[in-house]
Amino acid sequence: MLFEDGIIERMWGSSRIVHGTNRLKRGFAKMVKHGAIFDVTNPEQAAIAEDAGAVAVMVLDKLPADIRAAGGVARMASVEAIEAVMDHISIPVMAKCRIGHTQEAILLQEIGIDMIDESEVLTPANEAAHVWKWDFTVPFVNGCRDLGEALRRIEEGAAMIRTKGEAGTGNVAEAIRHMRMVNLGIRQLVSNKDDPQELMRLSREMRVSYELALETAQLGRLPVVNFAAGGIATPADAAMMMRMGVDGVFVGSGIYKSQDPEVRAEAIVYAVANWDDPEKVLEAQAMISEKKSMTGIDINALTEEQKIQYRGAQL
């Protein structure tokens, strides 16, 4: 089911122009496939990302690792900071709004950013609902921990999905777990694509519509672009996620919490593009030094309350 409430129509001379269609939103995400998107907090970091070959940047007030350390409420970045990054670089600029904070999303759309990440990295604002993304002209990306969560976000209008992983840890284990769960869910749907009763049972288990479960079963993949995110810190991490079938990667704290952000950014872009060529991934991995990687956090050392991947997951 597609709602297209975010559409804007206008005339240019004799041509009828339409903005904000589902095709344009999902199409935007298709253009960043096989690419890397980096979290940045200022124009200087954004310029490093652009020079390294990133396909887009994500503007935050603080990097996830710093949000984790600082505690308190994490909100959308300052308007000034977002606009400064937009003015400074020419690649797409994304920014995060809090889960369910429709007003922050409206503000980000007004600023004119290219995509909104409704993100668990910020403090959730609505415990009962995510943003109803169909109302927007700008496309959204949402996080997921398994296939059901991904499909529920798509039903709300997300044009792109990413794994949640465990942001700000420099530990890729949770992103791997979440991608494994997505792949497992897809295999389950695919193997039952000719069995409507079983497909309906699975769709109820995943709390999504039968139609979307069927569509996913027939496609054999998510109906939108799917990136990895949360804990990616090295070229090997990025290539590992590509190997699991993601369309690209988000790197949060991994770049600017390392001591070699310029070469690391370039190395990760190169590893994503060449993930299926061991020689080239080795070339990328050799560009960085493990001594300069962010130290990272063992996931087992975190209490359940300290994990941010659970935010919004029950919805």
Residues with active-site annotation: 96
Residue closest to 83 by CA, chosen among 46, 121, 48: 46
Residue of 16, 197, 301, 305 that binds other proteins (CB under 8 A): 16
* Cβ atoms of 274 and 287 closer than 8 Å: no
Contact set for other proteins, span 258-277 (CB under 8 A): 266, 269-270, 273-274, 277
What whole-number distance in Å separates Cα of residue 2 and Cα of residue 245? 26
Among 3, 33, 75, 156, binds other proteins (CB under 8 A): 33
Torsion of CA 37, 39, 45, 49, to 10 degrees: -10
Q: For residues 80 and 279, which CB has a smaller minimum distance to other proteins in the complex? A: 279
Min dist CB 223 to other proteins, Å, is 13
Query: Which residue lies nearer to other proteins by CB, 15 or 303?
Result: 15
* Of residues 48-77, those binding other proteins (CB under 8 A): 50-56
| Residue that is written with structure tokens 């962010």 in the block | 294
Does residue 297 touch other proteins according to CB under 8 A?
A: no
115 binds other proteins (CB under 8 A): yes
Name the nearest CA neighbour of 37 among 227, 171, 287, 190: 227
Question: 308 by DSSP, 3-state: which?
Answer: coil
Q: Is 20 in the site for other proteins (CB under 8 A)?
A: yes
226 scored as a contact of other proteins (CB under 8 A): no
Report the C-alpha gap between 58 and 162 in whole angstroms. Answer: 13
> Which CB atom, from 45 or from 309, has the smaller least distance to other proteins?
45
Residue 168 found at the interface with other proteins (CB under 8 A): no
Q: Rounded to the nearest whole angstrom, what is the least distance from the CB of residue 276 to other proteins in the complex?
A: 9
Minimum distance of other proteins from residue 303's CB (angstroms): 39
**Contact between 12 and other proteins (CB under 8 A)?**
yes
Q: Please say which residue, 10 or 291, places its beta carbon nearer to other proteins.
A: 10
Q: How many residues bind other proteins (CB under 8 A)?
A: 45
CA distance 146 to 182: 5
Structure tokens, 71: 């505690």
Residue position matching structure tokens 């020689």: 279
Q: Is 112 in the site for other proteins (CB under 8 A)?
A: yes
Closer of 279 and 304 to other proteins (Cβ): 279
DSSP-derived 3-state class of residue 158: coil
105 vs 294 by CB, closer to other proteins: 105
Are the CB atoms for 35 and 94 separated by under 8 Å?
no
| Interaction of residue 15 with other proteins, rule CB under 8 A | yes
CA distance 142 to 277: 30
Q: Which of 1, 2, 13, 303 binds other proteins (CB under 8 A)?
A: 13
CA dist 167 to 67, 152, 164, 251, Å?
10, 21, 7, 9
Of 102, 67, 124, 63, give the one whose Cα is nearest residue 252: 63
Residues forming the site for other proteins (CB under 8 A) = 12-13, 15-21, 23-24, 27-28, 30-35, 50-56, 86, 90-93, 109, 112-115, 137-139, 266, 269-270, 273-274, 277
